[in-house]
Amino acid sequence: MTSVRIVSGMVFVCAAAIGLSFAQCGSFGGSDSKAPTTSDDAATPVEAGDGAACTSGACSCTGIDVTKDDAANCGACGRACAIDPVLGVGECKAGVCTAVPVQAKLPYASVVVASGNHVYFADGSTSGAPGSVWHAAAPDFAPAQISVPQPQAVISMAVDDTNVYVVSAQPENGKGFVVRMPRTGDCDGGCASTLDSVTGGVAPLAVALSADAVFWVRSPSGNDVGELMTRPKAEGTPPVAIDQRSGYNRAGRRFPSLVTSNGFVYAEHEVAAGEPQTTNGVDALPIGGCPLSNPMCVVDRVTISTAGIAAYKDALFYVGLADDGGATHVGRVRDTEKSGTLLFADRPNLGYLLAVDDRDLYWVERDPTAKGADWTIARRGKDGTCGTYAPCPQIVARESCLAADPQCAITSIAIGDTMIFYARGGSSGGVYRTPK
Provide the whole-model pTM.
Answer: 0.84
As a whole number, the mean pLDDT across the chain is: 77
- For the sheet with 264-269, list strands across it: 258-261, 264-269, 281-286, 299-302
Each domain of the chain, given as residue ranges in start order, spans: 7-38+103-418
Report residue 384 CA to chain centroid gap.
19
**How far, in Å, CA of 391 to CA of 397, rounded?**
14
Q: Residue 429 in contact with residue 106, Cβ under 8 Å?
A: yes
Strands 373-381 and 394-401: antiparallel
State pLDDT tens for residues 222-236. 555 678 889 999 888
State pLDDT tens for residues 96-155. 999 999 998 888 888 999 999 999 999 876 544 567 889 999 999 999 988 777 667 888
7-38+103-418 is a CATH 2.40.290.10 domain: no
Q: Residue 427 in contact with residue 409, Cβ under 8 Å?
A: no
Low-confidence ranges of the chain (pLDDT < 70): 1-64, 125-130, 150-151, 171-174, 186-190, 201, 220-225, 245-255, 271-279, 289-296, 369-372
- Please give the pLDDT value at position 31: 39
